[in-house]
């Protein structure tokens, strides 16, 4: 009976640990060798390899307003805001 109880506690402990660890995981908007860019006059975005310029139709995010993680403050913000071809915020 004691072995069964210890096994149950071990399983419960591992389950709790995996749940707690799962909550701490944050998915990056782009991989470590890329950076995010915003589609001009759109809510869309993509990732560009570091060292390369954004492709035509995309601009860099303004300094201090770059989304880093999925669903972070700036990721949510840019879902409803747009940038013009000069990287300035524009109205939809």
Domain that holds residue 69: 34-90
Cα 70 to the center of its chain, rounded Å: 2
CA atoms lying within 13 Å on the CB side of residue 83: 22
Residue 23 resides in a domain? no
Confidence label for 90 from pLDDT (cuts 50, 70 and 90): confident
Can you tell me whether residue 28 is helix, strand or coil?
strand
Q: Whole-prediction pTM value?
A: 0.71
The answer to whether position 61 is within a domain reads yes
Can you tell me the mean pLDDT for 11-30?
66
**DSSP string across 57-90:** TEEEPPTT----BTTSHHHHHHTS-EE-TTS-EE
Question: Is 12 part of any domain?
Answer: no
Predicted confidence at residue 26, as pLDDT, reads 92
The average pLDDT across 58-86 equals 96
* Model confidence band, residue 13 (pLDDT cutoffs 50, 70, 90): low
| Average pLDDT rounded to a whole number, residues 48-61 | 98
Query: Is 74 a domain residue?
Result: yes
Nearest Cα to 78, choosing from 31, 90, 86? 90
Q: Indicate the number of domains in the chain.
A: 1
């Amino acid at each position: 009976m004691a072995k069964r109880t210890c096994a149950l506690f071990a399983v419960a402990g591992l389950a709790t640990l995996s749940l707690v660890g799962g909550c701490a995981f944050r998915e990056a908007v782009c991989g470590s060798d890329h950076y995010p860019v915003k589609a001009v006059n759109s809510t869309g975005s993509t990732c560009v390899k570091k060292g390369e310029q954004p492709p035509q139709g995309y601009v860099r995010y303004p300094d201090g307003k770059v989304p880093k993680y999925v669903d972070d403050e700036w990721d949510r913000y840019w879902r409803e805001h747009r940038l013009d071809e000069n990287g300035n915020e524009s109205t939809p």
